[in-house]
Chain A
């Protein structure tokens, strides 16, 4: 499938806006929320890249399964590692 160029431009623009937002939020003191907001923006940006630049949105369910597996395994890595770090005495 050929994706119209304007979609790429829009996604690129969205990424730039989110990038600027990340920097702007870093200058506002929000306590622990600074980290939460930065991570949330990063996740949105990564999702945009995966869906549009990496074409996952336009592909079959099999591609979705494999892309999701990557994230599932990332969650395994985080959760079981945190099972250690979050419970250190």
Chain B
């Protein structure tokens, strides 16, 4: 809040220093978030380019544009760029970096140098991967399954494996930084059950990053070791065990899905409450559900291996455990819906994306149950049904949540408002384009079209053409926000401190925030999301509401 005693103009974090050095050596979490934003956007469009090539090739049943080998490389590089270099760092490293300290009333993360170091690690890992992309790529699939990757492929997976290994440390460092920050740097009065749900989500995500990532690092080191030395670890010809690689890989890579989706769930909780002008329904259940998903997510990895040669008993155990994840996931969806119920919903861009998230995540989650069932999974494994399912989670869920967050916090990050009309339009065409791209793939998969093939029988063509047409709309839906968000930077910083009338601590600072966020460390005296005091006709006084919960 500006008072008469303060100067009319103060340097925000964007103006606090000029020149390349002030950015590349910055210790400000907000500037590091912007650096991450630029890096991950770069990889998003690289991954997007590979996706375009894949969809173009699949327009016709026969091979037209690329050879089978090139096609294998395209889907591999698409997966690696999108999963490791975009989705996993997306919300934590950009929105988390920017807003975790601000939402808990802190002036920075606990370890600012570690934060900057993690960005450099990300880029070093990225350079290794780019090196492979420009020198021929690899064709192993993003999963690097052994023994193909360690003994048979003619491409060289070692640089990418090294890149992803380095990238993993960037992820671990971000996780450690968040954990320590959330434990140690909360503002006075900000108890655990007064934390915004985005903080709970960032906390749960950090736990996964810290506990899961080392295991995939071990798997990748062993893979590189086998490839370079010929010592048998995974290759049966060398007395190794290929299923061991899959266990180690999925121990991380299944929870990695929750690294992608949990932060989005946090964003959706912020957006839904703000634009429905309601308190979140069932706060504690929402917090525990996030932690529950994070923990249960570590117990289900074997559902990726039902037909891989894993024992039937293990399959049964992993199938049963996988069903459990549906419970906290359903709690979240139901509670968002209950929050919206009788809310005074303001249809601004962020909540349009949040609506997209809720619907698409639900479809993605429910189709996951088909795949967690042993009997149906035998039919559906390695078909387009799986591709559609995880794109509903990762794109329909995680990317929609990321875009909801970007649109929600853009005024805070930049001080500028984007063009609301274009933003709503792009949210709409993203939703349409997404469903047109991926819904036909459920049907294709159920009809038996396998994934990772560049040719297919002619009867699958109509649905594939629909999918490619949808992808072109989807691509446009991603380009338009790039344009209007960048365009908004030309405008003056007139967004104001709190354009959405949000209750979060981050909105009590000027937009863009000051370099040190808060002049005075705020003191928190109430729970988050107290929106009912406003114009809502069915507003419940806080004390009554609390009494009802007791």
Residues of chain A having any CB pair with chain B under 8 Å: 62, 66, 69-70, 73, 76-77, 80-81, 83-85, 87-89
B215 within 8 A of A: yes
Contact A87 B313 (CB under 8 A): yes
Shortest 4 CB-CB contacts between residues of A and residues of B: A84-B314, A87-B313, A87-B311, A83-B314
Contact of A88 among B244, B311, B317 (CB under 8 A): B311
B380 to chain A, nearest CB (A): 21
- Closest residue of chain A to B311 (Cβ to Cβ) is A87
B300 nearest in chain A by CB position: A80
B14 beta carbon closer than 8 Å to chain A: no
User: Interface residues of A: mostly helix, strand, loop or mixed?
Assistant: helix
B298: chain A residues within 8 A (beta carbon): 73, 76
How distant is B475 from chain A, measured CB to nearest CB, in Å?
39
Least CB separation from B301: chain A residue = A80
Chain A to chain B contacts (Cβ below 8 Å), 15 pairs = A62-B183, A66-B179, A69-B211, A70-B211, A73-B211, A77-B251, A80-B317, A81-B251, A83-B317, A84-B243, A84-B247, A84-B311, A84-B313, A87-B312, A87-B314
Residues of chain B with a CB closer than 8 A to A73's CB: 211-212, 298
Q: How far is the CA of A70 from the CA of B183 in the complex (A)?
A: 18
Give B residues with C-beta under 8 Å from A.
179, 183, 207, 211-212, 215, 243-244, 247, 251, 298-299, 301-302, 305, 310-314, 317-318
In the bound assembly, the distance between CA atoms of A88 and B313 in angstroms comes to 8
Is A80's CB under 8 angstroms from B299's CB?
A: yes
Contacts of A85 in B (CB 8 A): 311
CA–CA, A73 and B301, complex, Å: 13
Known: A76-B298, A84-B313, A89-B311. 14 other contacts (CB 8 A): A62-B183, A69-B207, A69-B211, A77-B215, A80-B302, A80-B317, A81-B244, A81-B247, A81-B251, A83-B302, A83-B317, A84-B314, A87-B312, A88-B311
A35 to B509, CA, bound (A): 60
Task: Kindly list chain A residues whose C-beta atoms are within 8 Å of the C-beta of B183.
Answer: 62
CB-based contact A76/B299 at 8 Å: yes
- B292 CB to closest chain A CB, in angstroms? 15
Task: Say whether, besides A76-B298, A76-B299, A84 and B211 are in contact (CB < 8 Å).
Answer: no
Q: How far, in whole Å, are A88 and B383 apart by their CA atoms in the complex?
A: 26
User: B313 contacts A83, CB within 8 Å?
Assistant: yes
Kindly name the residue among B211, B251, B298, B318 whose own CB sees the greatest number of chain A CB atoms within 10 A.
B211
Indicate the member of A66, A77, A88 with the most B CB atoms within 10 Å: A77
CA–CA, A81 and B310, complex, Å: 9
Chain A residues in 8 Å Cβ range of B311: 83-85, 87-89
C-alpha spacing A70/B212, complex, angstroms: 10
Closest to A77 in B: B251
Chain B residues within 8 Å of A70, by CB: 211
A12 to chain B, nearest CB (A): 26
The residue of chain A having its C-beta at the shortest distance from the C-beta of B179 within the complex is: A66
Chain B residues in 8 Å Cβ range of A69:
207, 211
Whether the pair A84, B299 counts as a contact (CB closer than 8 A) is: no
- Nearest residue (CB) in B for A73 is B211
Q: Return B111 CB to nearest CB of chain A, in Å.
A: 15
In the bound complex, CA of A48 to CA of B201 (Å): 34
Q: Which residue of A lies closest to B318 (CB)?
A: A80
Min CB distance B458 to A, Å, is 40
Decide if A84 touches B215 in the complex (CB within 8 Å).
Answer: no
Closest beta carbon of chain B to A61's beta carbon, Å: 12
Across the interface, name the chain B residue whose C-beta is closest to A85. Answer: B311
Q: With the chains together, A70 CA to B415 CA distance in Å?
A: 41
Residues of A within 8 A of B310 (CB): 84
Q: A84–B302 contact, CB under 8 A?
A: yes
- Chain B residues, CB < 8 A from A87: 311-314
Residues of A within 8 A of B317 (CB): 80, 83
Nearest Cβ distance between residue B313 and chain A, in whole angstroms? 4
CA distance A77 to B312 in the complex (A): 18
The smallest beta-carbon distance between A83 and chain B, in angstroms, is 5
Identify the closest chain A residue to B321 (Cβ).
Answer: A80
Could you tell me the distance between the alpha carbons of A66 and B182 in the complex, rounded to whole angstroms? 14
Closest chain A residue to B247, Cβ basis: A81
Bound form: Cα–Cα A38–B211 in Å: 26
Looking at the assembled complex, report how far the CB atom of A49 sits from the nearest CB atom of chain B, in whole angstroms. 16
Which residues in A have their C-beta under 8 angstroms from that of B305?
84
CA distance A76 to B244 in the complex (A): 15
Which residue on B lies nearest to A84, using beta carbons?
A: B314
**Complex Cα distance A77/B212, Å?**
10
Contacts of B243 in A (CB 8 A): 84
Quick one: closest A residue to B183, CB to CB?
A: A62
Residue of A nearest to B184 (CB): A62
Q: Tell me, in angstroms, the Cα distance from A62 to B180 when the chains sit together.
A: 11
Query: A76 — nearest CB in chain B belongs to which residue?
Result: B298
Which residues of chain A come closer than 8 Å to B212, judged between CB atoms? 73
User: Which residue on chain A has the smallest CB distance to residue B252?
Assistant: A77
Bound: A66/B175 CA distance, A: 13
- Docked pose: A77 CA to B301 CA in angstroms: 10
**Chain A residues positioned under 8 Å from B251 (CB to CB):** 77, 81
The docked-state distance in angstroms from the alpha carbon of A69 to that of B244 is: 23
For residue A89, which residues in chain B have a CB less than 8 angstroms away from its CB?
A: 311-312
A77–B298 Cα distance when bound, in Å, is: 9
Greatest chain B CB density within 10 A among A66, A76, A77, A84 is at A84
In the bound complex, residues from chain B placing their C-beta under 8 Å from that of A76 are 298-299
* Assembled-state Cα–Cα distance A73/B212 (Å): 8
| Bound CA–CA A84/B247 (angstroms) | 9
Q: B313: which A residues are within 8 A, CB to CB? A: 83-84, 87
Q: How far is the CA of A83 from the CA of B305 in the complex (A)?
A: 13
- Min distance, Cβ B38 to any Cβ of chain A, angstroms: 32
Chain A's closest residue to B315 (CB) is A84
B375 to chain A, nearest CB (A): 19
B406 to chain A, nearest CB (A): 32
- Alpha-carbon distance A89/B311, docked complex (angstroms): 7
